[in-house]
């Protein structure tokens, strides 16, 4: 089994990145829908945004799951000694966990909008939209540069 994993590690990495890109595309767009929803005065537009928000969130959630599963598979393939030594990866995993909480919070926000209970401004959602941008920058630098920490 381990030979199979090592022989296919580049495929796992490729699909890990593909699913991550798809996940981030959605996680970048969803808060923009929240901005529009928070700022609209039109009931018709609000109803349309409710559908878009819910469909998008449910569409991107499997991408998040596949990203995490493939990441865990990569860690398993490289082994425990590598994981312990790769301090950059500990930071990356922590950021991914934070992003999963962010993703989960988006479910709450979709529900808030579905029930017409939003009390936050478009400005709040514009700032909220920046969180995954910063996480992405740091995760990409960690994954490709692999800085050494003492």
103 pLDDT band, cuts 50/70/90, is: very high
Rounded distance between C-alpha atoms, residue 143 and residue 34, angstroms: 30
pLDDT at 150 over 90: no
Which structure tokens are listed for 102? 């962010």
Does the model's pTM come out above 0.95? no
What does 70-108 look like in DSSP terms, one character per residue?
HHHHHHHHH-HHHHHH-HHHHHHHHHHHHHHHHHHHHHH
Rounded distance between C-alpha atoms, residue 131 and residue 57, angstroms: 17
H or E element: which one contains 118? none
pLDDT at 1 over 80: no
Rounded distance between C-alpha atoms, residue 35 and residue 41, angstroms: 12
Residue 117 three-state SS: coil
Q: In this predicted model, what pLDDT tens digit does every residue of 32-91 receive, in sequence order? A: 999 999 999 999 999 999 999 999 999 999 999 999 999 999 999 999 999 999 999 999
């Amino acid at each position: 089994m381990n030979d199979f994993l090592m022989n296919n590690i580049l495929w796992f990495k490729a699909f890990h990145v593909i699913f991550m890109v798809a996940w981030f595309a959605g996680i970048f767009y969803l808060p923009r829908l929240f901005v529009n929803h928070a700022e609209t005065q039109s009931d018709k537009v609000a109803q349309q945004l409710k559908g878009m928000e819910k469909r998008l969130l449910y569409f991107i959630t499997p991408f998040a799951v596949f990203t995490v599963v493939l990441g865990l598979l990569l860690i398993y393939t490289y082994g425990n000694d590598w994981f312990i030594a790769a301090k950059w990866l500990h930071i990356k995993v922590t950021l991914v966990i934070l992003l999963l909480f962010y993703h989960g919070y988006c479910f709450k926000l979709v529900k808030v909008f579905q029930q017409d209970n939003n009390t936050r401004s478009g400005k709040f959602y514009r700032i909220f939209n920046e969180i995954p941008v910063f996480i992405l920058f740091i995760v990409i630098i960690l994954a490709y540069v692999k800085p050494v920490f003492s």
